[in-house]
Structures are given as structure tokens and as C-alpha cells.
Structure 1
Amino acid sequence: MKTERMFSILIYLLQKKKISAEELASKFEVSKRTIYRDIDALSSIGIPIISYLGKNGGFTLVDNYQLDKFTFNEEEKKFLLEGLSLKNELFDNQQLSTLQRKLELLKENKEVAHANISISSSTLHRETIEEETKVKIKNILSIIEQGNKICISYVSQTANISNRIIRPIKLNFMNGSWYVEAYCESREALRLFKLTRIRSMEIIHDKTRHTYIEKAEIPTSMTAKMETITLLFSKSELGKLYDFFTEDEILVFEDGRVNVTFTYDTNKNLLPFLLMFGRHVKILSPQWLKNKYMDEIKFIYES
């Protein structure tokens, strides 16, 4: 991507006395014209680049220029390195390794960086779905940068399958899932599309610029409707409950049973969570949730 390439060019300029357009073009497998455009872009944001013409020409930085004077101090560089070590959905392993090596070149202290944070996944999706989502994210980011539209096949929450022509605006991470905020031509408005429900994408090369409303309208199904839920768990479930509830929401009785009271968005289906505890959970309130839970148990038993 252009931003990453420009950042890399800046690092090369910091490391080398002088580097030619031919050498940079070869490094990044682009044309010299692209390199000249990147150099112009860097100069336009205040990077003091000196250009030398002729046979032995090239680019360099003014002698007293220090990157960390206008970007990152050592603590910020360390923070960025640790951030890159989070194996999130935005990067595949090769991208992470490349970005980490490039950022390491900026560190004054050359010791090997050991990240204090490690995350294997920020969602509950299976590994294969995570990898599929990474590919979608990478493709959508490229489409956003290029300003194109895409035709998607989309499965709604109610299992309705439709084809939409959308122009992606940005990616959002909400409630453990990735969404693309995009202008939907059929709705003539901004909408959110969950990436796991996008089953196919076809690029439409149309860079016509439009003005959109500032924020996507969140579908009614995503507008929170909070209600107080009270549950009773067996004492054997206490450790597991701290994965989902705060100290203030948990009350342990003398006999070891656990009362949990919390507020929850009733638009979201709580039944799969409750079924995970089997016979170790009892719904105290509200009544409608008890009824839905019993209906679900009955349906599973009879099917």
C-alpha cells in the first residue's frame, strides 16, 4: 500500500546517505515515476528531502534531520512495536514481520524487542473464519484506498440473501466482529455490513466521488435495548463466570451458588450463552427469557 511504501522510503533515507530513484523502484517493485510521486508527497508533509540530479543523483535528508523530533519518541516506538505484535485481523504474519523490522530500524537502542503483549485472536471465530476475514479486510482496505465500489453477495441476520453495490468508507470493529461502513446504492444511504456475512466481492472500477452523511445509520436490530437479567449458577461455574461478568455483577451465596445480575441488549440472542452452562444455570428473570429458554430446550429435545 502507498502509505506503507512511503514510510519505508523514509526509513531508507534515514539509514542511507543517498539513495537513487532506480534503487528505490527496484526495492519496492514500482516505477521510477511512482517513486518520484512518493518523494513529492513526503516533501509536501514537511520531510526535508534533498534531490540530486544527474547520473549519480538521488535523494537524501538534510544532515541534522531526526525522525523522532517530529514523530515518535523511544517510548512511542516501543508502544508501536508492541502494538504490531498483536496478531490482529488487520495483518497477516508476513506483514507483521515486515512492519516490525522496519520500525526496529527507527529505534536508537538496537536490542531485540520483546513485546509485553500477545493476543492470538480478538474474536470468537474459528481460525479458518479469522483467516477468511483477514483476506476480506486486506481487500477492502485496498478498495477504500483506490476509491472503487464493490458488488457483494450478502446474507442478512434474517437469512435474506441479496446482491448490493456498495462503496466502502471505513472498517469498524464492534462487539467482537468486523464491519465495513459503506454507501449502499440500493438503500441510498450509509450502512454497516458484517464481514463474515459477505459471501463474495467483485470490484467495480468507479472512482466517482460522492458526499455522504457523517455517520452510518445503525440498523434497528443493532440499536441497544437494555434490560436487567438475573441468573443463578452452580458454584462449579464461578471461575467461568469471571470471564463474562464484573465483580459488582456477581454475588456468591454461603452455599456456593452464584447469583449474577447484569444489563443486556435484548436484540442479541442470549440463548447460546445460557445453553453453554447446561443444567448449571437457572433464569430468575425476566419471565420472557425463561419462556424462550424452555422453548429452546424443548425444541432441541424433540428435534
Structure 2
Amino acid sequence: MHINRLFGIVHLLLNKKQLTSLQLAAHFEVSKRTILRDLDILSGAGVPIYTRKGKGGGIAILDSYTLNKMAISDKEQSSILSSLQGFNSLNNLDHQPDHLLSKLSHLFGKKQTNWIEIDFSNWADYDHRQVKVDILKNAIINHQIVEFKYVNNRGEQAKRKACPLKLLFKSQDWYLHAYCQIKLAYRFFKLKRIDQLVLLDQIFDTNLLPDLTIDNKADKSPPMIDMTIHFCAQIAYRVYDEFPLKNIVTQQDGSLIVSIATPDGDWLLQYLLSYGGNAKVIAPQSLKDALKQQVMMIVDLYH
């Protein structure tokens, strides 16, 4: 606690520029004598603290002073601040790094640079996803079991009870990686499909969970398919947004050919249908047949 108070005094003086011993004593809830003793220790350690007498006076640190004498180089200090700024930009998850970023900026004598901003929310985002994230964050940190209703790919609803391990953002969606106590296996749950999320009072021990490497379902990669698609020129803006440039070949008429390996599944058919008549499958034949069958089903709906 003593070391923390010394560190705190330096931070306050660098931040506030000038404070009285009574103000410092009140802030740290100690006596004025204790503060004066701390100031003597800091002065003896080389911190250039000085006192202004008279009205408007107080205790201050030389403006030129920073913690550059620490075993952290100037480049390392900049790297620390940049990393914290990047982490702080995940503002839809946690606002707590703000205080640490401000404190280290003052201690290093460097101005904060907002070099990056990351926002995973979409334009039509809603508040209750943030509520889910807050609940799961606390559950993961405190090793608390959660209970929720989950809708799978087939639209089936079931109650799940799980030990949450990690939040993962992948392929434009948030997932919860957890050990499901119902299925007795590790699972990835899409946050959009989680409903009625409840934080239970039950604590789990990560050391007692099964070894992740022996859960084949958790590590199993989805089946892949090599496909080639022809896109009309008017839909090029989507193609360039959604496929790597190295997989796109521009044709003389402005249309685009995309050849890429992608996970197979029902989602792929729905995705290709979202292009309407602006996309045509060239290969493989199995994908062409499956897509044709989906189109015929849609046509039958309107007969």
C-alpha cells in the first residue's frame, strides 16, 4: 500500500501540477505527517519535488520530469501506450483502460494519440447485446456458470448450462466458447442466438474441465469447398468488400471471377442467393445443383 501511495502521489502531481499536503492527505486518507514523509522519500529517490510558499502555493514536480529513468526505453513507452490505445478502442466491451492509459501518459510525459478506433457493432446494433457481453465478461473472469436458451442452425431451442471460457469475434460475429454441461463438450455459441442469459452463483474450476484437445467436435474444422463464381460488374463493390483481392480476376466487360475455398453448408447457399441474379456459380457442379434446387423451392412458394 505504501508503494502504491508513492506511485499515486507522483501521478497526481504530474496530472494536477500542484496540490497541497492537506489535499494529498485527504485524497489518500492519511495524515499530513505521512504525506510529508512520503515526499521526503520521493525526493531522496530523485523525484524533483518542490514547494511553493505563500497564498496559492503548494507541492509540485518539475514540468520536465518524466519516468524516463525507468528501465523502459522511449520506444517501449510509445509501444505500451499504443497497445493500450488499441485495446481501449474496443469500446463496446470495456471502458476501464481509460484510467490506466491516462495515468501512464502522464508518467511517461507523452501525449495520447488516438491512432486507432475499432467498433464491432453494426449500424443497427441494439443495447441488449452489450448486456450479454457484460454478463459473460464477469462470468469468464469470476469462473461462474451461466444458463441460457440457445437456438441452433435448425431453429431448435434448448436450454444450455455452460462454463464460459472466452469471447471470440470471428467472421463478423461474436461467439462464446464454453464447456456445455448439457452436451458434455466444448461448444461455440453465437451471441445472436443466446437468449434469457442468467449468471448463476455456481463456480467452476477450469482445472477440472476435460482437456480441450480431446474434444474433437471443438477442434473439428468445417468441410471446405472449392468454388468459382462469376459476378456482374454492378455488384463489384460487394465482391471487393467480401473476398480477398488475390482471389478476384477482373474481366474485360468489368465482371469478376472469384475462385476460393470456403466452408460448405446451408449458409453458403443463402449467401450466394443474397446476390440475386448478379452471381452465377461456375463450379463445382454439386453447388450449382444445390443452388438450383433452392431457387426452385423459392419459385414454388409463389406458385
TM-score (norm 2): 0.70
Which residue of 1 is the match for residue 102 of structure 2? Answer: 104
1:83 maps onto 2:86 in alignment: yes
Partner residue, 2:144:
148
Task: Tell me, yes or no, if the aligned pair for 2:146 and 2:197 is still in contact at 8 Å.
Answer: yes
Distance 1:10 1:155 in 2: 53
Cα distance, 1:233–1:159 mapped onto 2, change above 3 Å: same
Which residue of 1 is the match for residue 210 of structure 2? Answer: 213
The separation in 2 between residues aligned to 1:9 and 1:172, in whole angstroms, is: 37
Q: Secondary structure at the match of 1:117?
A: coil
Q: Which 5+ residue runs of structure 2 have no aligned equivalent?
A: 14-20, 48-66
CA contact (8 A) 2:228 2:283 kept: yes
- For 1:231, the aligned partner's letter is I
* Structure-1 separation of matches of 2:25 and 2:157: 50
- Say if 1:11 and 1:106, in contact at 8 Å, map to a contact too: no
Aligned mate of 1:299, from 271, 277, 297: 297
Distance change >3 Å, CA 202–CA 9, structure 1 → 2: farther
Task: Give the C-alpha shift of residue 205 in structure 1.
Answer: 1.2
Give the alignment of 1:43-82 within 5 angstroms: 63=42, 64=45, 66=67, 69=71, 73-82=76-85
Q: Is the 8 A contact 2:186 2:218 kept in 1?
A: no
Change (3 A) 1:302 1:150: same
Q: Which residue of 2 aligns with 1:158?
A: 154
Q: Measure how far apart 1:231 and its partner are.
A: 0.9
Residues 152 and 165, structure 1, Cα contact 8 Å, conserved in 2: yes
- In structure 1, the partner of 2:114 is 115
Q: Contact conserved, 1:221 with 1:267, CA < 8 A, in 2? A: no
Partner Cα separation in structure 2 for residue 229 and residue 274 of structure 1? 11
**How big is the shift at 1:84?**
3.9
Code of the residue aligned with 1:195 in structure 2: it is: L
Tell me the distance in 2 between the aligned counterparts of 1:135 and 1:11: 35
Q: Secondary structure at the match of 1:242?
A: helix
Partners of 2:264 and 2:175 in 1: CA distance: 20
CA distance, structure 1, for counterparts of residue 292 and residue 24 of structure 2: 72
Q: How many residues align?
A: 260
After the TM superposition, which residues 1-303 of structure 1 pair with which residues of structure 2 at under 5 Å, given as runs?
A: 12=8, 14-16=10-12, 23=27, 63=42, 64=45, 66=67, 69=71, 73-84=76-87, 86-87=89-90, 89-91=92-94, 95=95, 99-107=97-105, 108-111=108-111, 113-121=112-120, 126-128=124-126, 131-209=127-205, 210-215=207-212, 217=215, 219=217, 223-267=221-265, 269-303=267-301
SS in 2 for 1:79: helix
Shift of 1:102: 3.7
Alignment gaps of 5+ in structure 1: 1-7, 26-51
C-alpha displacement of 1:264: 0.8
Quote how far apart the aligned CAs of 1:192 are. 2.3
Q: Residues 154 and 240 from structure 1, CA distance in 2 versus in 1: closer, same or farther, beyond 3 angstroms?
A: closer
**What is the rounded CA distance, in whole Å, between the counterparts of 1:147 and 1:127 in structure 2?**
28
Q: Work out whether residues 148 and 161 of structure 2, in 8 Å CA contact, stay in contact via their aligned partners in 1.
A: yes
- Highest Rg: 1 or 2? 2
Shift of 1:11: 6.9
| TM-score normalised by the chain length of structure 1 | 0.70
Aligned partners of 1:84 and 1:100 also within 8 Å: no
Write the distance in 2 (CA, Å) between the matches of 1:218 and 1:197. Answer: 23
Q: Go from structure 1 to structure 2 and tell me whether the alpha carbon gap of 1:184 and 1:143 turns closer, same or farther (over 3 Å shift).
A: same
* 4+ aligned runs moved over 6 Å, structure 1: 8-11, 17-22, 58-62
AA at the equivalent of 2:159: N
Q: What amino acid is aligned across from residue 230 of structure 1 in structure 2?
A: T
Q: Is the partner of 1:255 in helix, strand or coil? A: coil
What value does the CA root-mean-square deviation take over the aligned residues? 3.7
State, as a whole percentage, how many aligned pairs show the same letter: 22
In the alignment, residue 76 of structure 1 is paired with which amino acid? S
Distance in 1 (CA, whole Å) between partners of 2:173 and 2:38 is: 44
The Cα shift of 1:143 comes to 1.6
